[in-house]
Structure 1
């Protein structure tokens, strides 16, 4: 199967955003990596913001598909949350990458609004999914919403620290500690 130029641009841009950030690469960098002229990129994506928005939309879709799979594969809250945290661990193991939207969020003040909006949507979707998973295991409340937001924030932070320190198990440890605290707090 032949990969289209647009798909190669998306894949390369995603890797560059996850490793260097939105502001850490240019169309010239992309063109060099793929072996095309930078003007050719504009044919597929008129602006860098258009490309980043497209990449973020695809990332959100793939992540949503993964969350659906977690619901199908795991029945209880600890297993679902552990599987969720594994998404972050896998990302880090894939070329020392960070969460695409986490990287975008770190540069939110300098992003085009359409890219910033995609990152914001990603986090809203993650918290909403976590709330549903947690509420499925008990009543939904302000505490449920707070735990969902805290859990996501902790995983994003653990991912950054794991990248900096090389502690590849940090994400799983953080997840396990939060799950344990949450379960103990309910009893």
Structure 2
């Protein structure tokens, strides 16, 4: 039951934000009493905190597996980053041609002042850790001679983090995943043509 509650809570936080997130809506979707939800999670701040902390950990684990993989080329890593982002997008936009909200982190950044200290710290830590992981992946590409030694990996990492952090608003504005996919592919081409000769995405 706890996992079911957290799954519905994640959906409602993404769709309605923290202020529009209510135990009665969770209970209605699961066809249980509101008291049942309160039994597992004392209040909505506690539930939101657990959902956000676990979401951040899951997202970072996925990105670490991509960027710290010693056997993948840089182009493959960018492609896998795109695919991981698309998988999250398609969960809430199954046709691939809609712009429904899908990123919990994008939503929570705008409401961080309403979150518990632990949840807010997780949201803030996510951006820092993501940049660090991508930076490590870029450094690996230089070490493997995919990119030239003078590649500005800090600047490029910042650009990749910015696109990834803006993924939710980009798909909402464009109404599909196409624009975001073009951005990832364009970044890969720019990096390759300016600083190396990696295979085509």
Which TM bucket (shorter chain)?
0.7 to 0.9
CA separation of 1:89 and 1:146: change in aligned 2, threshold 3 A? same
SS state at 2:102 partner:
coil
- 1:72 & 1:137 partners in 2: Cα distance? 11
**Structure of greater Rg:** 2
What SS is found at the alignment partner of 1:75? Answer: coil
The answer as to whether partners of 1:74 and 1:80 remain within 8 angstroms in 2 is no
The residue number in structure 2 matching 1:86 is 83
Matched residue of 2:122: which SS?
A: helix
Tell me how far 1:142 sits from its aligned partner: 10
RMSD: 2.5
Question: What 5-or-longer segments of structure 1 have no aligned partner?
Answer: none
Q: CA deviation at 1:73?
A: 9.1
Could you say which residue in structure 2 is the equivalent of 1:183? 192
TM-score (norm 2): 0.79
Aligned to 1:112: 116
Per the alignment, residue 102 of structure 2 pairs with 98
Question: Is 1:46 aligned to 2:50, yes or no?
Answer: no
Q: 1:146/1:38 Cα in 2 relative to 1: closer, same or farther (>3 Å)?
A: farther
Q: Secondary structure at the match of 2:11?
A: helix
Q: How many residues align?
A: 183
Q: Which residue of 2 aligns with 1:125?
A: 129
TM-fit CA distance, 1:72: 4.6
Counterparts of 1:50-89 in structure 2 under 5 Å?
50-70=46-66, 71-72=68-69, 75-89=72-86
More helix by share: 1
Structure with the larger RCO, 1 or 2 (CA within 8 Å, 6+ apart): 2
Q: What is the CA–CA distance in structure 1 between the aligned matches of 2:138 and 2:120, rounded to whole Å?
A: 27
Deviations 1:125-147 (CA, angstroms, capped at 9, x unpaired) = 21111111111111699942332
Deviations 1:65-90 (A, max 9, x none): 42354355961011101211222111
Q: Output the TM-score relative to the length of structure 1.
A: 0.84
Residues 13 and 55 of structure 1 are in contact (CA less than 8 Å); yes or no, is this contact kept in structure 2? yes
Match of 1:148 among 138, 142, 157: 157
Give the CA deviation at 1:99.
2.1
